[in-house]
Amino acid sequence: MNFESFKTTGQNARYYRVPIALLDDFRSEFPAMFRIRYRGPRYNVPSAATRWHGSKQSSCLKQDAIYFSAYSY
């Protein structure tokens, strides 16, 4: 899989808005090279009912993610 189309410049993330369906491919191509942040809805999902409001402001759970971003360690 070619991830060059998701590569960014001028941002902290090395790869941005990569579809979550490609997560396993990404991890097999770049094993333990990047920190993954999940992106997607934070409030209007069933899992949001049990989360503290502060954590909903800053993160998305993997089960709710639509995209992910990859950052260098």
Residues 6 or more apart from 22 whose CB is under 8 A from it?
1, 3
73 pLDDT band, cuts 50/70/90, is confident
Q: How many CB atoms lie within 10 A of CB 11?
A: 10
Output the pTM of the full model. 0.77
Q: Is the four-CA dihedral 3, 5, 10, 11 of positive or negative sign?
A: negative
* In the chain, domain spans: 12-72
Is it the case that residue 19 has pLDDT exceeding 80? yes
> What is the tens place of the pLDDT at every residue in 23-62?
999 999 999 899 999 888 766 666 666 666 665 556 778 8
